[in-house]
Each structure stands twice: as structure tokens, then as C-alpha cells.
Chains A and B, each alone.
Chain A
Amino acid sequence: MSDPLLVADHVTKTFTARRRASRGGSQVVRAVDDVSLAIEPGETLGLVGETGCGKSTLARCVARLYPLTGGTVRFDGHDISTLSGRRLRPFRREMQVIFQDPYGSLNPRRRVGSIIGDGLAIHHVADGSARREQVQHLMEVVGLNPEHYNRFPADFSGGQRQRIGIARALALRPKLIICDEPVSALDVSIQAQVINLLLDLQSDFRLTYLFITHDLSVVRHVSSRIAVMYLGRIVETGTVDELFANSRHPYTRALLSAVPPADPDAADSREPVVLPGDLPSSVNPPSGCPFHPRCPRRQADCELAMPPLDPVYDDGPDHLTACLHPLRAGEDLSGATSDGAA
């Protein structure tokens, strides 16, 4: 395998919420806590987790939209975690973001052509009619009518707007595209179109994706590897097949059980596991393993020690789990072992 395109090493991001002095000063929110991951060229890493677990914050840290609190981000072998402004600009060209909200991410006062061509203008790639030609070509590539070059975002539907966002991200021919929930704001029927477009573009332009979503059926369809996040930490990573067949972490297992089966009558369709409680506050995370208050398998030591992200049982180095009492193959969350199921 070649060198990873992007390496995040112990990335931490905290936000400080100011409160009145009488109520005990400021609060620190650990949105991303000591996250390490690597993305190989050409692959799609799916980042999943429930709302508020820090997925988008991690994406913005990796894309250097937020300054990091700790850790490093290396892109193509270069440490970009402390670069700023002008020095960062060449890397911006190689790494683009597709945003979740197709309404908020397009400037309502600018024409579509100038939105898509913005990157070309900023990096002085093309001007005037050359820029227009490139933008219209991009519009065709993403399935928009190039004659709508002069329209405003308000004239387009949600799915079309997301195509505009994709064309903008594609304009500079980046190596890595960070997709921050690119389809969760869209209708289900449109979701499939946009996902297929993203997959087509990946093979046409040899793109690498960091694909963030809370929708597991989407992530199964697009990703080669998956990282599961809980409360600012990665609790399990592995290849898609490995994770869907043989997940070790109770949280991953609970998440996967929530995916509706393709065939509801099939014998192995599992009962969804309902976790008690809500995602704890990242202002005041639980001691030890952050998942222990909701974990059906918790034991006394879970409250004490933070489990490291390591291979468990006979897993290879590609399947890492942060759990003190991981599940074995075939074991289900209630603790019973069902024979033959995998």
C-alpha cells in the first residue's frame, strides 16, 4: 500500500463556552478527543456516529477550517496543522469540502457560474472565457444544464444545489474531498442520484473521500473502510465487510442493528438493540470508557480505564477496537452466543 494521503494524529479540538463568572467560569467542550486516522489514496473512509459526536468538527479540523487544539494533520506527507493563510493555500487546492446544507453553503447573492468558478479565480487557474468554459464543463460533469450558468442558487432544487456544491469542490481537481453529510439534507430518491454521482466522479477523477454520515446504509454503499465515532473518539475502525460481519464494539453493534435489513423476513434479521439514555455531554464526559453508562456489557473496570484503540482477539492491524470487553464473533449484545451466525 502506498503512503496515506491524509494522516490525522492525536487530533484534539476543544471549544470554550464562556459563562458568567458567578456560575463558575468557562466550560470546555471536548468535541474531538485524541483522534487518529489515516486515509489511503483512492479509498473512501466512512466516518459514522450519531448527531453531536464530533464528526463534522473532526472534518473541519482535518480541512483546517478550525485551528487544532492538539495533534497534527499531515496531507500528502506535509504537516499542515500549523500552517495558516498564504502557506495553507496550496493545500486548500488539493483538499475540498462538500457541505451538508445545500442552502447555506451557496452564497445566495452570487450567480452559480461564479460560485463554481470561485476556486479557479482564487487560485488564478483560469480567467474570463476560459473560466466560463471550465465551469460549464463542470456543470455538465455533475449533471447540471450548463446554460444555467447565470442563474442564482435560489432557482435550483436541493439536489441540484448539492450538484453545484460538488462542481465547486471538483473545480480545482483536488485529491481529497471531504463530504460532510452530503446527502442527509436531501430526499431519499435524490440521495441515490447524488451518491451515484459521487461514486462515478471518484472513479473518473481518482478521488479520495472522507465520507461523513450518520446513515449506515449509505456508508456501507460508498465506503471501503469505516471509522465509528462516539463522543469525540473513534471506538472502532475496520473494512466495511469486516465491520458489518464482525463488529467488536458494543456501540458499533448497536448502531448496525439499527440498519433496516434488505429483507425483513430473512431469518437472520436481528432485533434492533435500543441503547438506554442519550449521548452524554462532552463538557463532562463519563470517566473511563465514554460509552460505559449506556453499554449493555459494562463491567466495573469500564468506569476506571480508557480503553486503547487496538486490535482485539485475533483481528489484524486493520481492525481496531477501543473496548475492554469486546464482542466475539457470533456473540450478540445480550451476552448469549448464537451458533453459526456471523
Chain B
Amino acid sequence: MTIRVREAPDRRVEPPAPDVVGRGPWELAWRRLRADKVAMGSLVVIVLMVLVAVFAPVFAHVTGHPPNMQYHREGLTPDGLPRPPNSTFVLGTDDLGRDILVRIAYGARISLGVGVLATMLTVVVGVVLGLLAGFLRGVVDLVIARLIDVVLSIPFLLVAIALVSVSGPGLTITILVIGMFSWASMARIVRGQVLFLREREFVEAARSLGASDLRIMFVDVLPNVLAPVIVYTTLLIPVVIIVQATLSFLGLGLPAPAADWGGMISEAQNYYTVAWWFVLFPSLALLITTIAFNLLGDGVRDAVDPRIGRLVRPR
């Protein structure tokens, strides 16, 4: 843009600078996150895991082992037990002679997919309900706050088992069940923040400009609750992944031939004394993914709000 001629002549002594763009809170947070080695390492691990999930068919193609193909001759010992890692089956085989490496790659699709989708559902429902309750107060708040209390006091696993056994196992029901039970904590966090924010003067300023409630909620209040929401979201993904694996472990995940980590660990239960690789590798995949998300979440929390919870690390 062109530089306007200003009244104060001393200002013009400086060479004309390009457009001054303030570093926003988000840009500063991203810079802090970039400097956090642990968080960036975790991010790399997560990206690798996502790549594994996306390119799962490549694993199948390169090894020549489709995820559900049972190799009764090459994949099982003469006794019918799983084979340990070898040149054909890099991470060994399972009890049906299937390639564990390929199945872990396909399992990543389920774990990450459910993790992201169920978390998104949680965030959208939790943020919208929390915002409405905290901002509108009154009857809306009363209903939503009591609903949060009810949801948080329901024993999750029992009801999840009941619901899934009624509807039959499947991806959609898994996502819905997880979303149904985890929005409440998110809504409670958002509601608390909004209760504080709605009394701030900038909300009054927006109202005096003629902004509608909806506009104030989403344009003025929402950006100010985004920091805790983002932190909670990154920490929610690993929880959701674990919950999904738990449901699969209990036989409430995807139907039998599908590869998913919780299901694989469940199938390995009877074999862990004779086939360590069968239980170890799916568990490691689960562990590495959830730890990476948790460490990233810690880093995001430090980056987004540097005032609280930051450990002073020695150099």
C-alpha cells in the first residue's frame, strides 16, 4: 500500500516500512511450540504415523501380504503357532498366519481415524453447548449444566458396552458413543471460561456497537476460549484412541477380519507366552502414538499459555 502523508513530520524521517503486521497470539504460540524439541519430536512421530496410515496399502503391496490374507503354510509353524519376525514377515505373524506389520499399518487408519473424528465431534458439541450455556445463562445454562453433570456421572464403559451390543459393532457407533460421553468435560471447560469472559468490557463494547448475541459469542468470545480448547483437544485425541482400542479389546470394535490395534492385542492374549511379537508390536504402536499425542499436548499447553504450567528446564 502507499504510505500516507502524516501530520507529524518526525515520523517520516524513518524509511517507509512495509505493512506492519503484528505477531498475533497464535503466531507467537507457534513460535514457542517450534522451539520445544520434545513437542516437535512428538509431532514428527505423529506425522509418520499418519503417513503409515495413509500409505497402508503400500505396505501390503511391498510385502505382497494383504492385511486379511492368512498364510497357513509360510505364516504358521508346523504346530500352527505364529511365526517370529523374519525376512518375509518383518514383525512376525499372528495366530492365523497374517502379517502383523501390514495389519498394524491398517490398524493405524482405524485408531487415528476414530481418534480424529470422535475428537472433532466432541469439540464441536462441547464448544457449542459450553458457549451457549456460559453466554446465555438462565434456563439454557441450567439444562446444559445439569446434562453435563448427568453425562459425567454415567459409568462410561458399561453404557458403551450396552449400546454397542445393542446396535452391533461398527465404526460409526464407536465414534458416536465416544463423542456422546466426552463432550461434557469440554463443555464444562468452555462454559467456565465464557462465564468469566462475558463480563469483560469488550463484550459490552461489542454490544454497544449493536452486535447480536450470536456474533458476540462466535466473533468476540470464541477466539478467547480457543487456547484451552486446543490444549484439551490435543490431550483428548490419545484418550479417544485408547478408548477405541479398549472397546475393540472387549470385542466391541470392528467385526472380526478388520485390523485394529485393540483387536490385535485382544487376539494375542492366548499367545503371549509363546509369541511375544504378537502382543508387543500392536501394543507398541498404541503406546508410541498416545505418548506422542500427550507430549505434543503438553507442548501446546506451554506454548499457548506460557504463564501457567511451564517447567523451568535447565539448559
B215–chain A nearest beta-carbon distance, Å: 7
- Taking a contact as CB atoms under 8 Å apart, the answer to whether A105 and B205 are in contact is yes
The answer to whether the Cβ of B306 comes within 8 Å of any Cβ in the partner chain is no
> Which residue of A has the minimal Cβ distance to B225?
A109
Contact of A96 among B4, B6, B209, B223 (CB under 8 A): B209
- At the interface with chain A, which of B20-28, B160-168, B230-238, B276-284? B20-28
The answer to whether the Cβ of B202 comes within 8 Å of any Cβ in the partner chain is yes
The answer to whether the Cβ of A107 comes within 8 Å of any Cβ in the partner chain is yes
Listed residue (B202, B206, B211) with the most chain A CB atoms within 10 angstroms of its CB: B202
CB neighbours of B209 from chain A (8 A): 92, 96, 118-119, 122, 168, 172
- Taking a contact as CB atoms under 8 Å apart, the answer to whether B207 and A107 are in contact is no
The answer to whether the Cβ of B311 comes within 8 Å of any Cβ in the partner chain is no
- Taking a contact as CB atoms under 8 Å apart, the answer to whether A123 and B6 are in contact is no
The answer to whether the Cβ of A89 comes within 8 Å of any Cβ in the partner chain is yes
The answer to whether the Cβ of A111 comes within 8 Å of any Cβ in the partner chain is yes
- At the interface with chain B, which of A21-29, A149-157, A319-327? A149-157
Chain B 1-40, CB-CB to A under 8 Å as 1, else 0, gives 0011010000100000101111111000000000000000
A123 to B211, CA, bound (A): 9
Chain A 8-49, CB-CB to B under 8 Å as 1, else 0, gives 000000000000000000000000000000000000000000
The answer to whether the Cβ of B201 comes within 8 Å of any Cβ in the partner chain is yes
- Taking a contact as CB atoms under 8 Å apart, the answer to whether A122 and B223 are in contact is no
For the side of the interface on B, what is the size category? Answer: 20 to 34
A140 to B20, CA, bound (A): 15
- Taking a contact as CB atoms under 8 Å apart, the answer to whether A93 and B208 are in contact is no
- Taking a contact as CB atoms under 8 Å apart, the answer to whether B19 and A147 are in contact is yes
For the side of the interface on A, what is the size category? Answer: 35 or more
Q: Are A99 and B201 also in contact (CB < 8 A) when A107-B223, A122-B215 are?
A: yes
Contact of B210 among A110, A119, A148 (CB under 8 A): A119
- Taking a contact as CB atoms under 8 Å apart, the answer to whether B208 and A110 are in contact is no
- Taking a contact as CB atoms under 8 Å apart, the answer to whether B205 and A99 are in contact is yes
Contact of B201 among A95, A101, A110, A151 (CB under 8 A): A101
> Which residue of A has the minimal Cβ distance to B210?
A92
> Which residue of B has the minimal Cβ distance to A155?
B22
- Taking a contact as CB atoms under 8 Å apart, the answer to whether B210 and A168 are in contact is no
- Taking a contact as CB atoms under 8 Å apart, the answer to whether A150 and B200 are in contact is no
Chain A 63-106, CB-CB to B under 8 Å as 1, else 0, gives 10100000000000000000001001100110111011100111
The answer to whether the Cβ of B267 comes within 8 Å of any Cβ in the partner chain is no
> Which residue of A has the minimal Cβ distance to B3?
A147
Listed residue (B11, B207, B208) with the most chain A CB atoms within 10 angstroms of its CB: B208
CB neighbours of B211 from chain A (8 A): 118, 122
CB neighbours of B212 from chain A (8 A): 85
The answer to whether the Cβ of A108 comes within 8 Å of any Cβ in the partner chain is yes
CB neighbours of B24 from chain A (8 A): 109, 111, 152
A107 to B24, CA, bound (A): 12
- Taking a contact as CB atoms under 8 Å apart, the answer to whether B201 and A104 are in contact is yes
Chain B 191-210, CB-CB to A under 8 Å as 1, else 0, gives 00000000011101111111
A145 to B22, CA, bound (A): 13
> Which residue of B has the minimal Cβ distance to A112?
B22
CB neighbours of B206 from chain A (8 A): 107, 118
A206 to B26, CA, bound (A): 40
- Taking a contact as CB atoms under 8 Å apart, the answer to whether A110 and B223 are in contact is yes
- Taking a contact as CB atoms under 8 Å apart, the answer to whether A145 and B202 are in contact is no
Chain A 42-65, CB-CB to B under 8 Å as 1, else 0, gives 000000000000000000100101
The answer to whether the Cβ of B220 comes within 8 Å of any Cβ in the partner chain is yes
- Taking a contact as CB atoms under 8 Å apart, the answer to whether B223 and A123 are in contact is no
A109–chain B nearest beta-carbon distance, Å: 4
The answer to whether the Cβ of B224 comes within 8 Å of any Cβ in the partner chain is yes
A45–chain B nearest beta-carbon distance, Å: 18
CB neighbours of A280 from chain B (8 A): none
- Taking a contact as CB atoms under 8 Å apart, the answer to whether A150 and B208 are in contact is no
- Taking a contact as CB atoms under 8 Å apart, the answer to whether A65 and B207 are in contact is yes
- Taking a contact as CB atoms under 8 Å apart, the answer to whether B20 and A147 are in contact is yes
A332 to B24, CA, bound (A): 58
The answer to whether the Cβ of A146 comes within 8 Å of any Cβ in the partner chain is yes
A251–chain B nearest beta-carbon distance, Å: 29
A92 to B206, CA, bound (A): 10
Contact of B220 among A101, A107, A123 (CB under 8 A): A107
Contact of A140 among B6, B208, B215, B220 (CB under 8 A): B6
CB neighbours of A99 from chain B (8 A): 201, 204-205
Can you name 19 extra interface pairs (CB under 8 A) apart from A148-B22, A151-B20? Answer: A60-B204, A65-B207, A89-B210, A92-B210, A95-B208, A104-B201, A105-B204, A107-B202, A107-B206, A109-B223, A110-B219, A111-B24, A119-B209, A122-B211, A140-B4, A146-B4, A147-B17, A152-B25, A168-B209
Can you list 16 pairs linking A and B with CB atoms under 8 Å apart?
A: A65-B204, A88-B210, A89-B210, A92-B208, A92-B209, A101-B201, A104-B201, A107-B202, A107-B223, A109-B226, A111-B24, A118-B206, A140-B4, A145-B20, A152-B24, A154-B25
B residues neighboring A (CB under 8 Å): 3-4, 6, 11, 17, 19-25, 200-202, 204-212, 215, 219-220, 223-224, 226
A residues neighboring B (CB under 8 Å): 60, 63, 65, 85, 88-89, 92-93, 95-97, 99-101, 104-112, 118-119, 122-123, 136, 140, 145-152, 154-155, 165, 168, 172
| The 4 A-B residue pairs with the shortest CB-CB distance in the complex, in nearest-first order | A151-B22, A92-B210, A109-B223, A104-B201
